[in-house]
Amino acid sequence: MARNSIMNKLYNGGPLFLLYYLCISEIDTNLEKVFEIFTLNFQIILIYFWVIKRPDIMANGHIFLAGLINDVVMGFPLGLSSLSYLIIIFVGTYVRNKSVNTTIASDWFTFLLAMIFSNLLFFSLLNNFSDLMFSFTKIGYNIFFTLFMFPVFWLLFNIYQTTFMTNRDA
Amino acid sequence: MSVSRDDFSIAFRSALLQRGGAQKFSVLSLTFLALVIFFIDIYGPKITKPVRAFINDVVYRITYLASTPTRVFPKAGDTISSYMNIREENKRLKAEIEKYKSLELDVEFLADENKNLQKILETEYFNKNLTNIVLAKVLVDKDSPFLKSIIINKGTKNGVLKGMPVTMDNYLVGRIVETNYLSSRVLLLNDLNSRIPVTLDKGAQAILSGSGLTNPILEYLPEDFDTVEGLSVFASGKDGIFTSGTPIGKTNSKGTVNLFVDPNQLSFVTVNLNIQNQGKL
C-alpha cells in the first residue's frame, strides 16, 4: 500500500520533474542539427497540457520558478520566461473553467491562442527591453513546429496519464 | 447575453485569482512578481548585479551537474567504439606521423618567416602573451533557436571581463558578453547578435555576421568582390577587441563561412585577457 503511494507520487511528479529538468539541464528541443529549421518550445506544451488536465500536479509557483531557471540558463532577462509561462497557465485555466469536455482538436486550437499570447509578450518584452536580436523567421518556425507537435505530445501525455497516474478524485 | 458576459468574467477572474489546493499562489500575484523581477533585472540599481551574478553562478553549476548524464553516455559509446577500432586507428596514426614528420620542417620555416613578417608589419603576434591566456572548461552548451552561447567556468575571479576574445586552438570562437564571479557567458560567432570585422585572403575587408545558423555570413564586402570557395577569413582587429590575424574559417560555395571550430563541439576554450587589460575596449 505504502509502496503504491510512493510510486503514485513519483508518477504524479513526473511532469514537474521533466519541466525542471528541461529548464536546468543542457537538454534542449532545438533540433536544428537534425533538420535545419526544426525547433520547438517543449516547455509550453508540457505546461499547457498539464494545466488543462491536471492542474493539481503542476503548481503555479513551480512553473514560475522553472521559468526563472530557464532565463538564467538561456541568458534572457530574469522573469521573462516566467511571464510567458504564466500566460500559458492563465489561458489554460480559463479554458478549463469555461469548458466541460475537451477534445484534442479543442485543446489544439486553444493552445494556439495561448502560444500566440505567450510569444507575443515574450518577444515584445525582449525586443523593447533588451539588446538581443532575434530572427522573426526562426520565431515563425518555432511557433509552427510547437503547434505541429502538440497533438503528438498530447497523445503521449494522455497515455502517461491513463497508464501511470492516479485519478485526482481517488 | 448578460449571463454569457457574467460567465466570461467569472472564468477570467477565476483564472487570474484562483488559489487553493496545490495552487499556493495566484497567476496575478506571480505575474506581478515576475514583472518586478524583470524590471529590477533590467533597470535595477548596481547592487542587483552581484546578486544576479551569484544566482547565475549557482544555477550554472547545478546545470553542469544536471547535464552529466547527457555528457557521460555519448562519451561511453565513443569509448567502446574506439576500443573496437584500435588496430585500424593505430595503422592510420602511424601513417599520419610519417606525413607530419615531413611537414614539420616546412612548418618551422613558415613559422619563422611569419614571425619576421609580423615584426615588419608591427602587428601583434597572437601567441606572444601566453601568460595572459586562461584555459576554461565549457560548463553549459545549451542550444537555443534565439541565442547561441556557451557558459565557461572562468569568471571575474580569474580576470575575465566583458568583451574579451575567446579562442580554441588559436581559432576564434566568440567573445565574453556576461561575467559572473566563477563563470562567464560567451557569445558565439554564429549568434545573430555577433558582428566582427574580418579580412579575407585577397585583402578585402568585411563584417562577419552571425546568422543564427551554423555558418555566419559576410556582409559589407567590396561591391565588385566575388566570393569564391576556400578563401580564408581572419579577424582584422580593427575593433581593438580581436587580435588581427586570428583565423576564423573558410568561405564555402554558398557564400557563408565554414568556421574552423564547430560551435556545437566546444569543450575547452581559451580567453585572451590582454585586450581588456590594455583598455582597448
Element (H, E) at B178: strand B171-179
Element (H, E) at B208: strand B205-209
Identify whether A30 is part of a domain.
yes
| B17: its cell numbers | 485569482
- pLDDT at res. A114: 94
Identify whether B26 is part of a domain.
no
How far is residue A76's CA from residue B182's CA, in Å, rounded to a whole number?
19
- pLDDT at res. B2: 55
Identify whether A75 is part of a domain.
yes
**What residues of chain B score a pLDDT lower than 50?**
1, 126, 277-281
Name the closest residue on chain A to residue B195, using Cα atoms.
A133
Higher pLDDT, A59 or A102: A59
Identify whether B251 is part of a domain.
yes
- pLDDT at res. A19: 92
* Cα-Cα end-to-end distance for chain A: 14
pLDDT at residue A76 greater than cutoff 80: yes
Answer yes or no: do B41 and A82 touch at CB < 8 A. Answer: no
- pLDDT at res. B3: 57
CATH code of B212's domain: 2.40.10.340
Mean pLDDT across chain A: 87
- pLDDT at res. B106: 74
Q: Domain residues for B152? A: 131-277
Identify whether B89 is part of a domain.
no
- DSSP string across A123-140: HHHHHHHS-----HHHHH
Identify whether A155 is part of a domain.
yes
pLDDT at residue A31 greater than cutoff 70: no
| B79: its cell numbers | 569509448
Q: Domain residues for A66? A: 2-164
How far is residue A83's CA from residue A87's CA, in Å, rounded to a whole number?
6
Distance of CA A6 to the CA centre of its chain: 25
Burial of residue B262 (number of CB atoms within 10 Å: 0-12, 13-18, 19+):
exposed
Whether B187 and B195 have beta carbons less than 8 Å apart is answered as no
Whether A49 and A157 have beta carbons less than 8 Å apart is answered as yes
Answer yes or no: do A93 and B14 touch at CB < 8 A. Answer: yes
- Count of structural domains within chain A: 1
**Preferred mutation among B12, B27, B64, B185 to probe A, highest tally of A CBs within 10 A:** B27
B200 forms beta bridges with: B233
Name the closest residue on chain B to residue A140, using Cα atoms.
B145
What is the three-state SS of A6-44? Answer: HHHHHHHHHHHHHHHHHHHCCCCCECCCCCCCCECCHHH
- Count of structural domains within chain B: 1
Confidence class for position A151, pLDDT limits 50, 70, 90: very high
- pLDDT at res. B281: 40
Count of Cβ atoms closer than 10 Å to residue A169 Cβ: 4
| d(CA A87, nearest CA chain B) in Å | 8
Identify whether A36 is part of a domain.
yes
- pLDDT at res. A170: 41
- pLDDT at res. B280: 41
How far is residue A81's CA from residue A79's CA, in Å, rounded to a whole number?
6
Angle between helices A42-53 and A60-74 (to 10 degrees): 180
How far is residue A94's CA from residue A97's CA, in Å, rounded to a whole number?
5
Identify whether B1 is part of a domain.
no
Residues of A in contact with B34 (CB under 8 A): 64, 67, 79, 82-83, 86
- pLDDT at res. B278: 44
Could you read off the pLDDT of A85-130 as tens digits, one per residue?
A: 999 999 999 998 888 778 889 999 999 999 999 999 999 998 898 8
Tell whether A104 lies on the interface with B, counting CB pairs under 8 A. no
| B244: its cell numbers | 588581427
Could you read off the pLDDT of A138-147 as tens digits, one per residue?
A: 888 889 999 9
Q: What is the ipTM, given to two decimal places? A: 0.89
Q: Which position has the grid cell 478524485? A: A169
Instruction: Tell me the torsion sign for CA atoms B87, B88, B94, B100.
Output: negative
Residues of B in contact with A98 (CB under 8 A): 7-8, 11
Higher pLDDT, B238 or A154: A154
Tell whether B70 lies on the interface with A, counting CB pairs under 8 A. yes
Burial of residue A25 (number of CB atoms within 10 Å: 0-12, 13-18, 19+):
buried
Confidence class for position A154, pLDDT limits 50, 70, 90: very high
| A71: its cell numbers | 532565463
How far is residue A116's CA from residue A44's CA, in Å, rounded to a whole number?
11
CATH code of A45's domain: 1.10.1760
